[in-house]
Amino acid sequence: MSQRPDIDGILIQWGDRLFYPGNRIVKNQPQPKLGALAARQRAAAIRERIEATVVRRVPQVMVKVTGGGRGMKAITAHFRYISKNGRLEIEDERGETTRGKEALRELADDWRFGGSLIEDAGDRREAFNIMLSMPRGTDPLTVQWAAREFAKIELADHKVVMVLHDHQANPHMHISVRAESKHGKRLNPRKTDLHRWRETFAEKLRERGVEAEASRQATRGSSRNYDPLWRVKAREDGRLRVSRPESKSGSQSRTTRAEAIEAWLQIGRALAASGDAADRKLAESIGRFARGISADRQRAEPTGRMARASAPWMSSTASRSR
């Protein structure tokens, strides 16, 4: 008899930890009680994300807050930078497009007076600069559409300026958002917001047929330190005097990786015990994925545990398939 209902419950419990950290279940808490149909759909979505991560190695979206202006002088300078001084097309939150230096001046006046007055310089951040990017080869117009839809959902009620950059290797969209909404509420993006933003952007790309994922580094077995834009520019100009490690090594990063590894372990064991051949095949892929993590992270004890535990999945699934 199939063990699928129990396996679906395990996938939901541990898959949420991997792919939906905002909804993570506290350890030892009972599995979520969903209706049968809802549970099947949820488990199917998690299976799809597992396959995208460990089998197809789907491209990851990038959503980054690259800075923000504390006054109108800095905000206007960023408008000029992303639009190449007005040569590139500028789109606002209403979908209206303009270009040229005069358009930049009008836009700056609209932001300066369109709400609380923004002085030329100040102590409060009045805008956030966001970049949404996909790897080389992605259709730029699809990136533009997905970014536009992202802004409608995540930056609703805020003044927005968007410019597509398709002249570089990876197509990306620059978005400047006025911190104060038209209702006076201020934007203050946090880590959980950034993860949700990545999820929204990836979802919109998938709606247009582009494979895209938004899993965390720990879920992918990665711990890379990505430099903020100011570091990239300082390095290019030869002004960067102090470097930082390429990999994250703090206690929080180690804890997050250990939690992700434990989730992969639980999911792999469950799928390996399934009566469904597709589940067992997915367990084999998780085993190979785990060994790849171990090769990159041999110094991490939890990772080594993951690799050792993956061997029985391979042998058991192999014996069933013969």
Full set of structural domains in the chain with CATH: 4-58+250-321 (no CATH), 62-207 (3.30.930.30)
pLDDT at residue 235, rounded to an integer: 61
Token pair of 198, please? 């990545």
Neighbours of 70 (CB within 10 A): 18
pLDDT digits (tens, 9 = 90+) for 75-116: 999 999 999 999 999 999 999 999 999 999 999 999 999 999
90-92 vs 62-67, strand pairing mode:
unpaired
Tell me what pLDDT residue 240 has: 66
Q: What is the DSSP letter of 76?
A: H
Which pLDDT tens digit goes with each residue over 39-56? 889 999 999 999 999 999
Quote the pLDDT of residue 228. 57
pLDDT along the chain (322 residues), means of 10: 68 90 47 72 92 92 93 97 96 95 96 95 95 95 97 96 92 97 93 91 96 88 57 62 59 78 91 93 91 59 46 48 43
* Residue 168 backbone class (left: φ over 0; alpha: ψ -120 to 50; beta: rest): beta
Tokens 């279940």 identify what position?
A: 25
Distance between CA atoms of residues 91 and 79, nearest Å? 11
Q: What is the pLDDT of residue 296?
A: 57
Whether residue 8 contacts residue 31, with contact meaning beta carbons closer than 8 Å, is answered with no
How is 153-212 classified by DSSP, letter by letter? Answer: HHSTTS-EEEEEE-SSSS-EEEEEEESB-TTSPBP---HHHHHHHHHHHHHHHHHTT---
Count the Cβ atoms, other than its own, within 10 Å of residue 76.
20
What pTM value is reported for the model?
A: 0.76
In a 13 Å sphere around the CA of 102, the CA atoms on its Cβ side amount to 0
Per-residue pLDDT, 100:
96
